[in-house]
Structure 1
């Protein structure tokens, strides 16, 4: 979501958006004057209306008025995890489904925003597992998830396709293997790119046989994707065993100079390599092994699901009650700031909010 340069968004930037009445919304993007939302919902309604509309897993609405589109209703038969604008009035849709827009399509499709119809010139290659995330870079569509094959090619967890046609692209040809939690399945949960790099987070242990536990960085500035000279041990420690991976999201700054990772995992204290229920910043230009984050901020035991880095703030969304809360688990501790659901963190460590206390190793401060 864009914002005016040098300004924070307001606490209530839009009060007219429609309501999903069941399930969850996992992805929201803007295409021109239209917003497209994907998730696990099946019923929605316009704001200030009692009329319930059926919109299975996808809906579109006007960005200015919030009115739900009557023309857009692709109705995939399974969960939508990610919607990504293609730049031409269409969107890529990834998730766990076998039909969309009345056509037999598996897990990855391209849909027209104007009328919800399928773009038949694009073939997503029927990934053999759930698509978790998508990214567009230099004419390639990056596909991340729990699949083992795509377009009939063995590409566990991450692959590249031609963005226009969906044809297999061998630009990414590395081996992702291993897991964080024994007995689970290798996957890439989220990806983002900036500054000639692409960062992936998820349930894996190695990249090309080298340990890059739950996070690896690729150099995507050349003729093929290669492992960047970047390795961190910050995400090697165990969190709650309820999660195959405690990684939840990653996002680069608009200028590509750094990225921020959000996690779940339950409270495990604070300090070196304690990454549970945190947000952490890493510099894109950092090189070497055992790279430490520039700062870490703690919720005190609550999950942060999504991160969006802008020019002025790091926006974090989740079920957290507090930030700047490294000293207490499931309760407010010294220096903690109440930010239920969403917060804006200062991108750097230079700013300190009044009354906050710096956590060991550096902590981002809440600024809204």
Structure 2
């Protein structure tokens, strides 16, 4: 990806209506981008003017021109998924364009509410969305604190198909919110799913913070054997929003491995290269159950530590593992804060990791952040970055940036 961002992307505006506006989700359908988060005003670079857009904006992927379509969301948007001619949007809202669609809505490509789809989610919030396209037919997988925490919905009606019913339960003590699946990823062959969150049990089995599910061609999803036991251990932060610490996961395009990223502050130094705290970790996708000599199943192929700052999101392209958060360094295995590992490399807010070695690549656009970005979207044309950052490689790109392929 280029370090020089596209010059045409719209950006959020700090207008005093929303404190610390940010973009948390982005998706693409054809040449239209759909971005959501928490904001009230968008600056249209092409028109050189501000436009009111409540928590959701549509714009041209090639020119950045903001669409006249302006579906208004009454709360924060956390997830966007596109499929066919539709856009699915999840979050903490209650109405969309005046239509009651709490927490999950299906939009037509033009931004109007699809009247046939209604998931009837009356509590909780939707955190992540992915379309399953396996042999049992398309299903919208929904993760969050709503309903059964991870559901497979009919993409036409919104009804729960029952394909996923894993009994996700038992919140990590003192962690933030209700039992939640924070993020998940489906393998490219649609046979497996990995999820992270603040749960402790799945299908009656101990699965603190993460689990893998098998997605069979017949029947329903089942809990897989895979689990990394050090996920049971805590990082050094005791803050409610850090106790669940695993923040995102993404499968490689080949499906051969996946990468998990984390917050949590630093690790116990006796557990270096074991606990995934403020780090990215590559795991090989298991073909058969296997355990190492220390009874830690499926040990990471590599770990890349920031030295005490959060990684919120990850996108694996095959050529690189892209990560973003509010970290200052990568390759900081023995470092904490400003006491750096000699091999640490500066990477402010965003960076790229070699998927084979686990070491930082040279890509370094510099993206200062307060909290850090919650989504990276890799496409055939480049990398879309949704965040709270105001600048990308020194250029004003508040909330939305696009790093094109060279």
TM-score (norm 2): 0.79
Matched, 1:282 2:305: no
Q: Secondary structure at the match of 1:234?
A: helix
Superposed CA offset, 1:182-220 (max 9, x none): 365211000111141101100011111211110000001
Superposed CA offset, 1:267-314 (max 9, x none): 234615321100001111253463211111001111111100002000
Superposed CA offset, 1:223-258 (max 9, x none): 210111211113222121212421211111111111
Per the alignment, residue 120 of structure 2 pairs with 125
Contact kept in structure 1, 2:169 and 2:179, CA below 8 Å: yes
Worse overlay, 23-32 or 11-20: 11-20
> How much does 1:30 deviate?
1.1
Give 2:336's match in structure 1, choosing from 311, 329, 336.
329
Q: Secondary structure at the match of 2:335?
A: coil
Per the alignment, residue 111 of structure 1 pairs with 107
Contact kept in structure 2, 1:181 and 1:241, CA below 8 Å: no
> How much does 1:49 deviate?
5.9
Per the alignment, residue 67 of structure 2 pairs with 69
Contact kept in structure 2, 1:20 and 1:43, CA below 8 Å: yes
Per the alignment, residue 169 of structure 1 pairs with 161
Per the alignment, residue 172 of structure 2 pairs with 180
Per the alignment, residue 75 of structure 2 pairs with 78
Paired with 1:104 and 1:300, the residues of 2 have a C-alpha distance of 44
Where do 5+ consecutive residues of structure 1 fail to align? 1-8, 150-154, 350-362
Contact kept in structure 2, 1:235 and 1:273, CA below 8 Å: no
Per the alignment, residue 359 of structure 1 pairs with none
Paired with 1:180 and 1:94, the residues of 2 have a C-alpha distance of 24
Per the alignment, residue 21 of structure 1 pairs with 13
Paired with 2:5 and 2:230, the residues of 1 have a C-alpha distance of 35
Paired with 2:313 and 2:273, the residues of 1 have a C-alpha distance of 23
Q: Secondary structure at the match of 1:329?
A: coil
Matched, 1:261 2:260: yes
Contact kept in structure 2, 1:337 and 1:366, CA below 8 Å: no
Paired with 2:79 and 2:261, the residues of 1 have a C-alpha distance of 17
Superposed CA offset, 1:307-358 (max 9, x none): 0000200011111111000111112321011111211101112xxxxxxxxx
Superposed CA offset, 1:152-172 (max 9, x none): xxx2x1111111211121111
> How much does 1:50 deviate?
5.1
Paired with 2:362 and 2:284, the residues of 1 have a C-alpha distance of 21
Contact kept in structure 1, 2:28 and 2:34, CA below 8 Å: yes
Where do 5+ consecutive residues of structure 2 fail to align? 15-20, 364-406
> How much does 1:130 deviate?
0.5
Give 1:1-368 correspondences, 5 Å limit.
9-22=1-14, 23-47=21-45, 51-70=49-68, 72-88=69-85, 90-114=86-110, 116-138=111-133, 139-147=138-146, 149=147, 155=148, 157-182=149-174, 184=176, 185-194=178-187, 195=189, 196-223=191-218, 224-239=220-235, 240-242=237-239, 243=241, 244-268=243-267, 269=269, 271-285=272-286, 287-288=289-290, 290-291=296-297, 292-331=299-338, 332-349=340-357, 363-368=358-363
Contact kept in structure 1, 2:46 and 2:65, CA below 8 Å: no
Q: Secondary structure at the match of 2:231?
A: coil
> How many pairs are equivalent?
337
Contact kept in structure 2, 1:234 and 1:272, CA below 8 Å: no
> How much does 1:13 deviate?
4.1
Contact kept in structure 1, 2:78 and 2:128, CA below 8 Å: yes
Contact kept in structure 1, 2:46 and 2:63, CA below 8 Å: no
Q: What root-mean-square deviation, in Å, do the aligned CA atoms of Structure 1 and Structure 2 show?
A: 1.7
> How much does 1:367 deviate?
4.1
Contact kept in structure 1, 2:192 and 2:215, CA below 8 Å: yes
Q: Secondary structure at the match of 1:221?
A: coil
TM-score (norm 1): 0.87
Contact kept in structure 1, 2:262 and 2:312, CA below 8 Å: yes
Paired with 1:16 and 1:341, the residues of 2 have a C-alpha distance of 21
Paired with 1:179 and 1:364, the residues of 2 have a C-alpha distance of 34
Paired with 1:166 and 1:364, the residues of 2 have a C-alpha distance of 42
Greater relative CO, 1 or 2 (CA 8 Å, sep 6+): 2
Contact kept in structure 2, 1:325 and 1:336, CA below 8 Å: yes
